[in-house]
Structure 1
């Protein structure tokens, strides 16, 4: 069972996440041969105040 963990800075809509999950699933199926029913996409939404690119707070 492939599990794909995606970390995003919070703020993306459910529609955006659903579209991305669908495409990720298609790519995993294509490259691994895993059946769709066994592929899981898991989102971790990160609070903006917890993200420091290049050591600076995310604006």
Structure 2
């Protein structure tokens, strides 16, 4: 029984987007590993922005620096 945990920042993913993620991950496990979709579990956790960090800094600061590098 595969168990997949997707963590995303809490930025307003819609129920339809989450359903698409669940379908897509399930389909991928069926296609690649021949897993039974009836026993495949997908959980989506939304994490508050202040609880997410990349490169040693909060994600909001990381994104600001990344955007500044693009300009």
State the TM-score, normalized to the length of structure 1. Answer: 0.87
Q: Which has the higher contact order (CA 8 A, sep 6+)?
A: 1
2:42 equivalent in structure 1: 41
2:26 equivalent in structure 1: 25
Task: Spell out structure 1 runs of 4+ moving beyond 4 A.
Answer: none
Q: Deviations over 1:21-51 (max 9, x none)?
A: 1011000011121111011111111100111
How many residue pairs get aligned? The number is 59
Structure 1 unaligned spans of 5+:
none
Question: Counterparts of 1:35 and 1:52 in 2: how far apart (Å)?
Answer: 34
Instruction: Please give the root-mean-square deviation of Cα atoms over the aligned residues, in Å.
Output: 1.1
SS of residue matched to 1:27? helix
More helix by share: 2
State the TM-score, normalized to the length of structure 2. Answer: 0.74
